[in-house]
A and B are shown apart, each in its own frame.
Chain A
Amino acid sequence: MYNSSVLDPQSPQARAIGNLGIVSTIVLVLIFVIVTGAILYALFRFRGRDGDADPKQFAGSEKAEIIWTAVPFLIVIFLFVMTLRAMNQVDPPPAPSPDLVVTGHQFWWQANYPASGAVTANEIHIPAGKALSVRLDSKDVLHEFWVPKLTRKMTTVPGQNNHIWLQADKPGVYIGQCSEFCGTQHAWMRILVIAEEPAKFEQWEQAQLQASKIPRAGPAAQGLALFQTSTCMSCHAIRGVPGADSTVAPDLTHVASRQQLGAGILENNSANMRRWLKNPQHIKSGVLMPDFNFTDQQLDQLEQYLATLK
């Protein structure tokens, strides 16, 4: 089972934050124990009863005030120095050109690999063990990229290029999601980061660059025709299909190779694909894809066509 715990860091960046978290927690818990201890001590030691005379009227002590101004000041300086150190570890300056560009959309993620030209959505493959310089962008409102086990979160701001370093020590699947409220379906704007051995990642990237095959006959061919005539391609791109190059919605060239649909709301299988195509608004209301109300036959054709897009 996947988890997304910041307490289980899986990269040098997340570990630097985790270690700082441990140090800070020790300091803060110590303060808590001392102050709460004093309050509890007062509760037991200085409990009064009705009819007790008022105690000695003692209005303060400058010595005490100086101590409890100076000591917190020293603690703050210590934490500040630790903060600066960790900021430099987690967030060194970006590389001259990004290895990966992640763009937030209502309500999905687009991932571009500028060096190769590969494009995918919601499921970001990376080579394990390598720090990637990632540029973050947004097509509409603010979103926030957050994969807790791997790296810091960072807002995607339209018109402003933000940057993070993304790395995973070991191959594996790391989950995260948009953490800045971005509209109706903010809850279902999830991310999978899939870290693979570099050779395997290379293979995946090469496969992504392949254009789709055009089915010549059978239900899949009719599905493709539906894709072209039912306005699907005003939003979705499928490389190899003439004219289907819009970037409004997720690129579908290799949709069948993905694990999930609707940015994490459904597992990607043929039954779910049919449900999604029929009534996306029933599954993820507010998603920018309208209900098409396809007939069962049309759903079969479309689903069979999309299943060829490995």
Chain B
Amino acid sequence: MNGTTVTMIRSAVLDPAERGHHALAWLSTVDHKRIAVLYLLTGLFFFVVGGIEALFMRLQLALPNNHFLQPDTFNQLFTMHGTTMIFLVVMPVMFGFVNYILPLQIGARDMAFPRLNALGFWLIPFGGILLHFSVLSGGAPAVGWFSYAPLSETPYSSTLGVDYWAIALFVLGIGSISLAINIIATVISRRAPGMTMRRLPLFTFINFVNAFLIIFAIPVLNAGLAMLLIDRQLNGNFFLPQHGGSAVLWQHIFWAFGHPEVYIMVLPAFGIVSEIIPVFARRPIFGYGFVAGSSVAIAVLSLGVWGHHMFTVGMGRPLDVFFAASSMLIAIPTGIKVLNWSATMLGGRLRLQVPMLFCIAFLIHFLIAGLTGISHAIVPLDWQTKNSYYLVAHFHFVAVGGIVFAAFAAVQYWFPKMTGRLMSERLGQWSFWLMVIGFNMTFIIQHFLGLLGMPRRVFTYPDLPHWGWMNLVSTVGVLFMSAASLVLIWNLISSLVRGKIAGENPWNAWTLEWATTSPPPHENFDALPPIRSRRPLWDIANPDRPDPAVGKITEEINAPDKTKIGILTFIFSEAGFFATLLLAYLYFYAHPQPGPGPKTLDVPRTLVFSICLFASSFTFWRSEIAMHKQRRGRMIGWLALTIVFGCIFLIGQGAEYWKLFQTGVEVSTNLFATSFFTLTGFHGLHVLFGLIALLIFLWVAWRGDFASGRASAFESAGYYWHFVDVVWVFVLLSVYILPLGR
């Protein structure tokens, strides 16, 4: 370790010029590395919160017929534990690693949209506070993390807990989508020269795939949450069977998000172990192409397996069979991964340091989780084990045995890059063994509790044969896991202060994050090594036996415009949101109810207003042409006309609503009304946002500082405006035109 590096570390951590406003610098930062650290610290904080919640639950369950906690307290605890661990721990922690490591691995100076990155982070504490605010408003939600209707509806959950829960998840979802957009734009447009898509490190590639999964899955949840809030706040009827709504529709919407969500959490873990195992086995990953390709297969298949959460809800034989088949199929790419990781170890020179230990634990526990997962895809077995402690054990093997173990590995592996100091190997071993022992004590036995008939989410249980001692063992295991977590936190703090200085590349790893100082300087790299394979640092260290070059050596990456990539991915996410609302509308259209229906709508007038909206796409296009020809007057004229057309459409929509209100049709009237107002209302809201954006551009153009650099922003706003029009085509066809044929 030479003195210069140490000085560089010091200056990066504590720049003298920044000392005066140090705390403020962290709050206002747009540097991906600092944002990443904020993500990780937020995740760690909520990990402690969620862990304490788990500890209290296990203490209540330690003995049969226990009275340590009130039933409602227990029910709030498991709801908050699940929600916290998923949305405020696993996602922020994984996002933290991605934020820190992904730009470094592709040789970028920062994320594509640094300020959007900061927004994405700050939505997490905001959402977390909103969620916990429920406690002050009469109690946390007590409906479980998937909030099944109709229990989550006002008649059965009358306090504001579920409302805070829904708004918090909505906010957190927006944060996740914004980061996903950022990841996609960064990987596409910010790669260093030579870093072709085929040379991406697996951690980056898998998280790139995962970003698409986020874009597709989260908007479905957000649509569902919007519908739930409309039910609760505006007396809508979506999920209230007593008013003709459908409890099962909520399950479809929730799990159409919820199962991809499992992979959204576990894919980054796959990325972590795909990075660490090769380094500690001292050889390249076995079957890069298959590990990468199976990630794509998992992401695609994961969008079509949600029904395996619903085998006991009475979907009917055809759907049961379909989802059984798709869920079994997804086991194949997952299995390919496990076998490739194992094969990487065979024939290597294994260094059993702490990151590797956690990866091996990940492999074995995740294997068990996968196998018990298959037993849930075998429908008749699910009919017995679902909603039992067998299921609780299964998904904790995924969440803790898989994801948390991978996160522990990642902490120990990348901590030196982030701080310049190594974590203590001795303390790491302690937390590893405490974690492995505690985890298995707690959760292996729960498989058997489930088989003995113990259901999940019970605050207490009768003293049936074996239930008592098995639960006690499970509780004692949690104490070991708590100790492991405390040791981890102590390791983090003490290593930060007096850990061994790490240097640039303490593990002799091969990806670009190890080609800069630890921690990296503000814009990451002074100079980048040549990139011609997937392991640029291996090629430098082993000039006698470099990796074979991957693909043609291209110096220039032909990067598309990042703004357009951003807006296109955003439009994808919006499409998912509207598709969910539209499908809900069509579902209730197919099950008509007494009361007002589509016949009450004024079709001819709406057609006229629709033509205005469609015309506005044309006028916008003319405005764009004028801009490219540098004819400011025409550009402003066409743009103004676009805005006028948009306003006329909104006024027409307002007239429609006014007439319906006059005849007594409101959101609460029946399901036609609820779904009609929701669908057209959200569309109208998007038109309004679009108009605001166009007005800003009009103002900018008016002031005359419409430099050519803003052209892509103007074009991107155009994509959005056209998208809003396309959505209206579908709404018009389903809501106004379709009933004409009935």
Contacts and interface: CB of A to CB of B under 8 A. Distances in A.
A55 B351 CA distance: 12
A39 B290 contact: no
B242 interface: yes
B350 A43 contact: yes
Contact of A154 (B70, B312, B332): B312
Given A38-B346, A54-B349, A84-B321, A59 B288 contact: yes
B383 A58 contact: no
Contacts of A69: 332, 336
Contact of A24 (B283, B367, B381): B381
Contact of A76 (B241, B328, B350, B383): B328
Contact of B465 (A1, A87, A154): A1
Interface residues of A, number: 90
B374 interface: yes
A86 B377 CA distance: 13
Contact of A39 (B247, B335, B364): B364
A87 B380 contact: yes
A177 to B, nearest CB: 6
Interface in A4-55: 4-7, 14, 16-17, 20-21, 24-25, 28, 31-32, 35-36, 38-39, 41-43, 45-50, 52-55
A229 interface: no
Contacts of A181: 75, 143-144, 148, 151, 456-457
A90 interface: yes
Nearest to A65: B290
A252 B313 CA distance: 30
Interface string A128-157: 000000000000111010101000111101
Contacts of B234: none
Given A46-B349, A142-B151, A158-B242, A3 B465 contact: yes
Interface string B43-74: 00000000000000000000000000011100
B283 A180 contact: no
B383 A90 contact: yes
A153 B312 contact: yes
Interface string B241-276: 110101110000000000000000000000000000
Contact of A48 (B313, B348, B388): B348
B126 interface: no
Interface stretch (B337-345, B409-417, B630-638): B337-345
A184 interface: yes
B287 interface: yes
B378 A55 contact: no
B186 interface: no
Interface in B274-298: 281-290
Contact of B287 (A49, A61, A152): A61
Interface in A48-83: 48-50, 52-61, 64-65, 68-69, 72-73, 76, 79-80, 82-83
A159 B241 contact: yes
A176 interface: yes
Given A4-B453, A79-B378, A285 B345 contact: no
Nearest to B287: A60
Contacts of A49: 349
A86 B324 CA distance: 13
A179 interface: yes
A187 B464 contact: no
A279 interface: no
Q: Which of B72, B248, B312, B385 has the most CB of A within 10 A?
A: B312
Contact of A152 (B283, B312, B465): B312
A247 B683 CA distance: 45
B314 A154 contact: yes
Contacts of A17: 380-381, 383-384
A56 B283 CA distance: 7
B453 A48 contact: no
B603 interface: no
Given A87-B317, A178-B455, A184-B142, A35 B384 contact: no
A264 interface: yes
Interface string B572-607: 000000000000000000000000000000000000
B713 interface: no
Contacts of B458: 186-187
A4 B464 CA distance: 9
A158 to B, nearest CB: 4
Nearest to B451: A6
Contacts of B142: 183-184
B26 interface: no
Interface string B158-176: 0000000000000000000
B287 A80 contact: no
B347 A55 contact: yes
B375 A28 contact: yes
Contacts of A231: none
Given A3-B465, A141-B151, A154-B312, A184 B328 contact: no
A280 to B, nearest CB: 13
B378 A58 contact: no
B287 A65 contact: yes
A235 to B, nearest CB: 17
Interface in B350-373: 350-352, 360, 363-364, 367-368, 371-372
Interface in B297-350: 312-314, 317, 320-321, 324-325, 328-329, 331-332, 335-336, 338-340, 342-343, 345-350
B297 to A, nearest CB: 10
A277 B328 CA distance: 52
A153 B383 contact: yes
Nearest to B385: A6
Given A7-B451, A24-B375, A54-B349, A141 B384 contact: no
Given A7-B451, A21-B381, A28-B371, 15 more contacts: A6-B451, A16-B380, A43-B360, A46-B281, A46-B347, A47-B350, A65-B340, A68-B335, A79-B377, A80-B324, A83-B378, A152-B380, A159-B241, A160-B241, A186-B458
24 contacts: A3-B453, A4-B452, A16-B380, A20-B381, A24-B375, A28-B374, A38-B343, A39-B345, A39-B360, A57-B538, A57-B547, A59-B284, A59-B288, A60-B290, A64-B287, A72-B331, A79-B328, A83-B379, A87-B321, A141-B156, A142-B247, A152-B383, A157-B247, A157-B248
Interface of A: 1-7, 14, 16-17, 20-21, 24-25, 28, 31-32, 35-36, 38-39, 41-43, 45-50, 52-61, 64-65, 68-69, 72-73, 76, 79-80, 82-84, 86-87, 90-91, 106, 140-142, 144, 146, 148, 152-155, 157-160, 162-163, 175-187, 190, 264, 285-286
8 A-B pairs with least C-beta separation:
A48-B349, A4-B453, A152-B383, A159-B241, A187-B458, A60-B287, A42-B345, A179-B455
